[in-house]
Structure 1
Amino acid sequence: MAKISGSTIYGTITLWEKVCDHYFERRNTKRTSHRTYKTPWLGDPRVNIQNAKGKAKPYQVHQVLEVIEKLGAQKKESE
């Protein structure tokens, strides 16, 4: 995650698809421009990313980063 900061934060949609594929369970979302991912918490919260001219939308990038930080904090608590 250190690699994803500064000017690369709004990197290509391909970069963010790889990040989300690594951290989350991908949901089958056909016929839509969004890629939706399931998070591990109750209530079925999801994050999604959408292609905006080859890049991920900034507000969605921030949501993904917040969820990844939350996952990291939970992992540290459980250790």
Structure 2
Amino acid sequence: MNKNAVYEELKKNPKNIHFNRLCSAAELFGFRFRGGKGSHRIYAREGIREALNFQNVGGWAKPYQVRQLLKIIDKYNLLKEEDDA
């Protein structure tokens, strides 16, 4: 999966992102699932203070949570990192 393509997909329309797609995107950028309860999933990454808390609402991600991931990607220059593949 190409980080640039995923980033552009999230940025293009944050209101129309499936919950599972958002979780996959977080993992692509190095975040690891750390647990959660009910419809919530928490992701964290070593070296990043902020944790991501995503909520599944009928299979969709909340737009502000998509924007939150995008903000962290920009803040920590995660697009500049080499792809693991």
1:50 to partner: Cα distance: 0.6
Whichever residue aligns with residue 26 of structure 1, its letter is: F
Runs of 4 or more, structure 1, over 4 Å off, are: none
Higher RCO (C-alpha under 8 Å, 6+ residues apart) = 2
TM-score calculated relative to the size of structure 1: 0.71
Work out whether 1:39 is the aligned partner of 2:61.
Answer: no
The size of the alignment, in residue pairs, is 73
Contact 1:39/1:47 (8 A) holds in 2: no
Contact 2:39 2:57 in 1 (8 A): no
Among all aligned residue pairs of Structure 1 and Structure 2, give the percentage whose two residues are the same amino acid.
Answer: 29
Task: Give the TM-score normalised by structure 2.
Answer: 0.67
Q: Distance in 2 between matches of 1:13 and 1:54?
A: 5
User: Which stretches in structure 1 are left out of the alignment for 5+ residues?
Assistant: none
2:67 aligned to which of 59, 62, 70: 62
Say which one has the larger Rg: 1
Distance 2:9 2:64 in 1: 19
* CA-based RMSD: 2.4
In structure 1, the residue matched to 2:4 is none
Higher helix share: 1
CA distance in 1, matches of 2:50, 2:21: 22
Correspondence 1:1-79 to 2 at 5 A:
1-7=7-13, 9-10=14-15, 11-23=17-29, 24-29=31-36, 31-41=37-47, 44-72=49-77
How far apart are the structure 2 equivalents of 1:63 and 1:4?
11
